[in-house]
Structure formats: structure tokens, C-alpha cells
Structure 1
Amino acid sequence: MDPAPHQADVTVLLAQARAGDTQALGAAYSAVYDELKRAARTQLRRMNDVFQTTALVHEAYLKLADGASLAAVDRNHLLALSARAMRQVLVDDARARKADKRGGGEDALTLTAALGGSDAAAVEVLALDQLLGSLHKLDERAAQIVELRYFGGYSELEIAGMLGISDRTLRRDWRKARAFLLAERSQ
């Protein structure tokens, strides 16, 4: 199956959504829905998070649809924006769980505390979100690669295609980003 017509269809729908067609965004999101569910399922399984795959994808859609204007111009951009929206949903959920569990943030939560799977996932999401903010200031593309890999669940090849960069450039940026994250996390 040739992906070019599929790409063109999503691009047309996104253009219609930017022009004010309220149903076009839903149609564009439906066109990539299965891919988003696969990415969310992979990520949630890796994180050992209790968040439901369908709920994550739907919450991400609501974040995108609730925005003042949709800036996505093509399928890859929509997938990247969806990964960012999934990150925001997971971070918001982790903050809420941490606040509920720890009395509204009164007690400090350490990484060495005995945590259940979902509590550990919440701490991991919050820590990574903070580190990504620092990385974004230094290298925006590297931060985007981490976001797409971690929160979007995409492979290196998929991300290289989304960003329009070579596999070699992606691997170099990915190594640089991992080194930064590991160094910052160990401090």
C-alpha cells in the first residue's frame, strides 16, 4: 500500500481544519487513530502505567481539538503534536496522582521509596518531563526525538521520516539526548 495518498488525505483534512471545518480535524485524527493507539499501547506497556490506551489517545485528541488553532500541516506533524499532547496528558495525570498520594505534595517523594507500578511510572513521567524542558533549551530537535520515542512510542525509522532527517542524524541526536538525560538524572 502506498503511503503517499494517505499522507495527502491527512494533509488536505488538516488544511480544511485550519480553514475552519470543524469535522476535518476529527477525520484527520481518525486517519491516524490506529497508529496513535499502537504508539500509546507500546509506551504505556513500557512505562508499566495504569492509564488506558484508548483514554490516552482520546485525551490527546481533546487537547488538540481544544486548542485555539490547529497548526499541524501534514500527517507527520499531526503525529508529533499528538505525541506532545500524550506527554501533557501523562504529566498532568502523574502530577494529580502524586498530589493525591502524598497529601497534596506536602511529603517529599523520593525515587528510592517503595513504589507500586503506577506510582513509579508517575515519578518517571514527571522526572522525564522536567529533564525534557532542560534538553529543549539546549537542543530542540533532540528533545523532540526523545518526546516522540518515549511519549509517542515511535521507532527510530519512523521518527527520522517524521522529522525529515537521515537515520544517521537521528541516531547521533538520540545518543546525545540519552547522554544528556542520564547525566542530568544522576545529579
Structure 2
Amino acid sequence: MRPVTGSASITQLLREWSDGDDAALAALVPLVESELRRLAAAYMGRERPGHTLQPTALVNETFIRLLDAQRVPWQDRGHFLGVAARLMRRVLVDHARTRGRQKRGGDHEVIPLNDAMIAAPRLDFNLLALDRALEALAAVDERKARIIEMRFFGGLTVDETASALSVSADTVKRDWRLAKMWLLRQLDGDRGE
């Protein structure tokens, strides 16, 4: 295995993997595995107690889906983590939908998302309602939806998110505030129906 360290090396390995170099993938996996485990732990920390999907299974399913995305023109580590965050969200939403179907509609308790989206150590919310709200936001403003996805679900910093989206940190901060307000209104409206 080649000696590799740092963000620049991760970016290089991502690009080599995109170009079809399987050895680059083998070198990349140990470098990003801890990041994916961190993302999975953040996701699972927001789930209800006793969730049937474990963080390791979430990481494994994400890796499988990332393998299908081999030909993505990776920009850098932030872009990779943004894609991984989106894939983890999809895995959890798919799992919630399957579980809901199994329960014939599920027993979803709706609790509004609050302004402490990242700071809160644990938030309980209806993942399917949040997914619907994010899809609606993406239809109106894709960038704001991606910022929520990267910051809230992926745990990316403002700078990492800005880098992944090729925008300024100030743009991320402004869109983050506006998107949170939009989502809160949307989720409160869903609860009232």
C-alpha cells in the first residue's frame, strides 16, 4: 500500500479512484473510514433509541453505494464527505420507509426540529418528514438543501461545506440560517396537518 496522509492526498486518491485505479481505493478506504464512522455516529446519535440499523451497517451500506459512484469527478475531501452524507441520509430514509411499511404506517412521533441543529447532542425528529421537507427545499433551492445535508447530517464545518459547494463561508452561513428557518416552518406546517 502506498504511504498517504493528509487532505491533499485524499483528494489525489479520490481522483485516481475516479479514473479507475482500484489501488487508489484500497489506499483511500483506511483514510476515510474514520470520517465515515464519525458521520454515521452523528446520524445514529439523532435516531431513536433501539434503532435497528447500527452505525457499522450504515458505514458498510454507504461504502457499497460509494462503490457505485466510482466515476464521480471527486473535487476533494469535503466533496467526498458531502456525497457520503447524502448517501447516509438515503440509507436511513430507505430504512425508515421499509420499517414504516412493515409496521403498516409506522408509529412516527413528530417533534419539531429546532435551531440547535448541530449543537444538540441528540435530536428526536421524524426522519421521513425531514426528508420530505429537504426534498421540497431542494426543489426551491438545491444549494440550501445541500448545506443542511452537509452541515446537519454530515457534520461538515462551514469551511468544509463552502469548499465542497465552491461558495464562500459567508454564503454557507447565510444559507444555513435561511434554510433552517424554512425547514422549521415546513416541519411545523406538517405537524399541524
TM over 0.5: yes
2:117 aligns to what?
none
Q: Residue 14 in 1 paired to residue 24 in 2? A: no
C-alpha distance after superposition, 1:109-154 (max 9, x if no partner): 6646xxxxxxx96x72111111111111221211111111232133
Distance 2:81 2:64 in 1: 14
Query: What's the CA shift for 1:26?
Result: 4.1
Conserved? CA contact 1:132–1:143, under 8 Å = yes
Identity rate, percent: 40
Q: Kindly tell me: are residues 155 and 48 of structure 1, through their superposed partners in 2, closer, same or farther at Cα, counting changes over 3 Å?
A: farther
Q: Kindly tell me: are residues 41 and 182 of structure 1, through their superposed partners in 2, closer, same or farther at Cα, counting changes over 3 Å?
A: same
* Further displaced range: 125-134 or 25-34: 25-34
Q: Residue 127 in 1 paired to residue 145 in 2? A: no
Q: Residue 182 in 1 paired to residue 187 in 2? A: no
Amino acid corresponding to residue 20 of structure 1 in structure 2: G
1:66 aligns to what?
68
Query: What's the CA shift for 1:28?
Result: 2.2
Q: Residue 85 in 1 paired to residue 81 in 2? A: no
The one of 162, 165, 189 aligned to 1:163: 165
Query: What's the CA shift for 1:55?
Result: 1.5
C-alpha distance after superposition, 1:62-90 (max 9, x if no partner): 00102362332321111111111101111
Query: What's the CA shift for 1:164?
Result: 4.4
Conserved? CA contact 1:149–1:155, under 8 Å = yes
2:78 aligns to what?
76
Two-structure CA RMSD over aligned residues (Å): 2.6
C-alpha distance after superposition, 1:9-47 (max 9, x if no partner): 112212221221224234323312112211221221123
Amino acid corresponding to residue 84 of structure 1 in structure 2: R
Conserved? CA contact 2:79–2:163, under 8 Å = no
Higher helix proportion, which one? 1
Conserved? CA contact 1:29–1:61, under 8 Å = no
Which consecutive unaligned segments of at least 5 residues does structure 2 have? Answer: 111-122
2:57 aligns to what?
55
Q: Kindly tell me: are residues 29 and 72 of structure 1, through their superposed partners in 2, closer, same or farther at Cα, counting changes over 3 Å?
A: farther
Which consecutive unaligned segments of at least 5 residues does structure 1 have? Answer: 113-119
Distance 1:168 1:82 in 2: 24
Query: What's the CA shift for 1:158?
Result: 4.0
1:116 aligns to what?
none
What is the SS of the residue equivalent to 1:11?
helix
Distance 2:132 2:39 in 1: 22
